[in-house]
Amino acid sequence: MELIALPAFEDNYLWLLHDGHQALVVDPGDAAPVAGALRRLGLRLAAILVTHHHGDHTGGVAALRDATGAQVFGPARERIPEPFTPLAGGNLVEVLGIAFRVIDVPGHTAGHVAYFADDVDGAPLLFCGDTLFSGGCGRLFEGTPAQMLASLDALAALPEATRVCCAHEYTLGNLRFARAVEPANAALADHERACQALRERGVPTLPSSIGLERAINPFLRSREAAVTRSVQAHAASANDEVAVFAALRQWKNEFR
């Protein structure tokens, strides 16, 4: 299997996974980069996986479905271009011989889902849309802090080796904020330097891994004493784990 991050818009990645003959694509907000890759690589598009309803994740779905006949899968509780196969947490989707487990991850949107496979060429694989970013998490447009914290807990519980395929190249901005939250985190400083070198070469910082995110991502570390102290110094009223997480997310919203 080959995993490719197709750049789109200013900072989106449309993830293409293929076996040399057939492919699936995740969150194709723009059909053109996907169609170009399919032509270039001589692939047939078998399936489209959608994590949530935002236009930069769904804008190319109809055109790709109509052009290729690919089956579309998406969250049952969101507005996905029809026809599509509606999914909810616990469902299994088999594509290209790979079984993906659907995980409900509300927070960024009310019905957001992620797709997890236990083994793709020897390592687990996660397509998480805009729920988890490297060094960050999605904004809470429709869900609550408690929902997003629970969603991130579910993703953080996946195996450390899980490759994390986020939908945006937000890493450097997220890591700059993470350093403000946890300045003494040596793993974070090392990862920031590595990511800066990648971006200077025009290389994606993704996929990340669950193990790495547990070590450097403040939104997966909000219960760690250093992170909690930092948040409470910024928002003294944050007196339980959900309030700390909410204050951390608000701090990120305002961070410049």
Which of these is catalytic: 54, 104, 112, 191?
Answer: 54
Query: Is 57 a residue of the active site?
Result: yes
Omega before 124 within 30 of 0, i.e. cis: no
Query: What percent of the chain lies above the pLDDT cut of 90?
Result: 97
For 72-87, what is each residue's pLDDT tens digit? 999 999 999 999 999 9
Catalytic residue among 18, 108, 112, 191: 108
Catalytic position from the list 27, 30, 104, 130: 130
The pLDDT confidence band at residue 118, using thresholds 50, 70 and 90, is: very high
Q: Specify the pLDDT at position 241.
A: 96
pLDDT tens per residue across span 28-57: 999 999 999 999 999 999 999 999 999 999
**Annotated catalytic residue within 53, 57, 112, 191:** 57
Q: Is 234 a catalytic residue?
A: no
Q: Among 18, 27, 30, 52, which one carries the catalytic annotation?
A: 52
Residue 237 pLDDT greater than 90, yes or no: no
Q: Is 221 exposed, middle or buried (0-12, 13-18, 19+ CB in 10 A)?
A: buried
For the question of residue 21 being annotated catalytic, the response is no
Residues 130-152, mean pLDDT to the nearest whole number: 98
Residue 256 has pLDDT above 90, yes or no: no
pLDDT tens digit sequence for 144-190: 999 999 999 999 999 999 999 999 999 999 999 999 999 999 999 99
Q: What pTM, to 2 d.p., does this model score? A: 0.96
Residue 112 designated active-site: no
Would the pLDDT of 236 be above 90? no
Q: Are 71 and 85 in contact (CB under 8 A)?
A: yes
Average pLDDT over residues 222-247: 94
Token representation of residue 145 = 């802090």
Instruction: Give catalytic status of residue 52 as yes or no.
Output: yes
Give the pLDDT score at 192.
97
Q: Render 107-141 in DSSP notation, one character per residue.
A: SSSTT-EEEEEEEETTEEEEEEETTEETTEE---S
Residue 8 tokens read as 């789109």
Question: Average pLDDT of 134-141?
Answer: 98
Q: Which residue out of 18, 53, 112, 168 is catalytically annotated?
A: 168
Contact 213, 12 (CB under 8 A): no
Catalytic residue among 27, 30, 53, 56: 56
Torsion over CA: 12, 18, 24, 30 (sign): positive
- Tell me which residue of 73, 43, 78 sits closest to 61, measured CA to CA: 73
